[in-house]
Amino acid sequence: MSTLIKFELKKIIKRKSTIAVILGSLALSIILFSLMPLQEKANDENGKEYRGLQAIEIKKQQSKLNDGYITNKKVENSVKEYQKMFNNPDNIIKDESGFSDFKPDIYWKFFYPSKSFYSFIIESYSKPNDFDSSIIRTMSLKNGIDFYKSRNEKVNTILNMEYANGNYTQKEKEFWLSKNKEISEPYLNGYYQGWDYFILSRDLLIFTILAICISIASVFSGEYQSGTDSVILSSKYGKSKVITAKIISSFLFGTIIFIINTIVCVGILTLSFGMDGWNLPLQLTTSSVPYPYTLLQATLLSILVIYIILIALISFTLLLSSCMKSPFPVLITNIIILFVPIFLQYSETNKLYNLILRILPSNAISFSFANYIDYKIGNLIIDLPTMIIFTCLVLAIIFLPFTKNNFKKHQVN
């Protein structure tokens, strides 16, 4: 069997089309992920702009101003300092519409170096799905600040809001509140840009998935096209081991290419931005995130979800390949499955439609950790990442027997 698997794997790899597509997808990954550090921008205390690695280094130094645990006292002191600076008329300038903001010299020296931390505070105290930049100016400090109490109140607001497509049930609320209780407090703050960039841009790996699907589209249909299916099926192991070897080699090929591309993408970001932030909580990106993960754990989960989606799509591609006489319709079907959902709009009233749309490949790859999305199966409640993994594995298992059966029993010309 191992000899057959090696032979089938070589058949896939040695195709000129495979080499071109895989190298093209790798080059695209390198270009797209390299643009992130190259386009990074930062300013020093004089407002001078820097780009690329210099900008990254400046941001790292600026983040140290707010490193450490985000305690109530730390938040209170930051708000107090902001209000003190903003309430000083000498520091403020008004535009033609009467909007007040810091004067340029105050902005670059005081506000900009701590901009990400102030944005974190503003986001945490703003209403759900809102970012009210003025809220920090009017926050009451009379009775002190209880940051985590306010954060948990925001979570409760999210769970108890009225939604046009249906509200959360009591069981769903308990499920999400239970997840939130697992989040460690206080949060540890620091620089985490590299990890955040990967989580935000991981959907670019869809081009790697497409390249893999293109490469294996002819695993069975190519045999029909060349007429070698009759030779294979008339051989001793043509209806058993050869089919299994084709399937295993396709998964091996997909796994190898996916690992290489993922290592390259993550490697580019960690080499550019550094490993800083791997142990920081995901809540730094959005304080109401319900998942109790670090940025490294969120990255690994994202990669796992994308890989399982790939497994399902490989199975589906093999099924199509076993049904169709040419690789071309297989490719067209894959492109439709991968890219059409991107253009479909979520419904404001149909929850079931939205739940289905969220687990379609392109949307599933870029799922948001900040959303409180769950699926109810009887009394069981499953979060979105788990549902994506479960659905893809079930579909992969369902597709494979049909693939074997199609190739084994098709009519040989």
**pLDDT attached to residue 171:** 93
**pLDDT attached to residue 255:** 95
**pLDDT attached to residue 99:** 78
Residue 411 pLDDT grade (very low, low, confident, very high; cuts 50, 70, 90): low
Q: How many residues does the chain have?
A: 413
Q: Which long-range contacts (CB under 8 A, 24 or more apart) does 183-186 make?
A: 183/281, 183/283, 183/290, 183/292, 184/281, 184/292, 185/148, 186/69, 186/70, 186/71, 186/72, 186/147, 186/148
337 exposed, middle or buried (CB, 10 Å; 0-12, 13-18, 19+)?
A: middle
What are the residues whose beta carbons fall under 8 Å from the beta carbon of 291, sequence distance 6 or more? Answer: 179, 282, 298, 369, 383
**DSSP E strand boundaries for 92-250:** 92-94, 100-102, 188-189
318 in Cβ contact with 297 (< 8 Å):
no
Mean of pLDDT values over 370-374: 93
2 exposed, middle or buried (CB, 10 Å; 0-12, 13-18, 19+)?
A: exposed
**pLDDT attached to residue 2:** 72
Least confident of 73-77, 194-198, 202-206, 326-330: 326-330
Whether the pLDDT of residue 94 is over 90: the answer is no
212 in Cβ contact with 258 (< 8 Å):
yes
**Tens-digit pLDDT profile for residues 221-252:** 766 666 565 556 556 555 667 778 888 999 99
Sign of the alpha-carbon dihedral angle for 15, 21, 24, 25: negative
Residue 377 pLDDT grade (very low, low, confident, very high; cuts 50, 70, 90): confident
**pLDDT attached to residue 134:** 84
Share of the chain above pLDDT 70, in %: 93
Whether the pLDDT of residue 324 is over 90: the answer is no
**pLDDT attached to residue 40:** 93
**pLDDT attached to residue 42:** 93
Pinpoint the alpha helices (H) of 183-294. 193-201, 206-216, 218-226, 229-234, 241-273
**pLDDT attached to residue 409:** 66
**pLDDT attached to residue 227:** 59
Least confident of 41-55, 98-112, 259-273, 296-310: 98-112
**Tens-digit pLDDT profile for residues 113-166:** 999 999 999 999 998 888 888 889 888 888 888 999 999 999 999 999 988 888
Residue 112 identity (one-letter amino acid): Y
Least confident of 81-90, 95-104, 284-293: 95-104
Mean of pLDDT values over 5-11: 77
Q: Which long-range contacts (CB under 8 A, 24 or more apart) does 9-13 make?
A: 9/249, 9/252, 9/253, 11/249, 12/215, 12/216, 12/219, 12/249, 12/250, 12/253, 13/253
**How high does pLDDT run on average in the chain?**
88
The predicted model scores a pTM of: 0.92
Among 331, 335, 316, 310, residue whose Cα is nearest residue 406: 316
**pLDDT attached to residue 343:** 87
Whether the pLDDT of residue 186 is over 70: the answer is yes
**Tens-digit pLDDT profile for residues 16-64:** 888 999 999 999 999 999 999 999 999 999 889 999 999 999 999 999 9
Half-sphere exposure (Cβ direction) of 132: Cα atoms closer than 13 Å: 13
Phi, psi of 412 (to 5 degrees): -80, 130
**pLDDT attached to residue 262:** 95
Residue 176 pLDDT grade (very low, low, confident, very high; cuts 50, 70, 90): very high
Residue 413 pLDDT grade (very low, low, confident, very high; cuts 50, 70, 90): low
Among 121, 131, 282, 274, residue whose Cα is nearest residue 199: 282
131 in Cβ contact with 139 (< 8 Å):
no
Whether the pLDDT of residue 285 is over 70: the answer is yes
**pLDDT attached to residue 235:** 61
Mean of pLDDT values over 110-114: 92
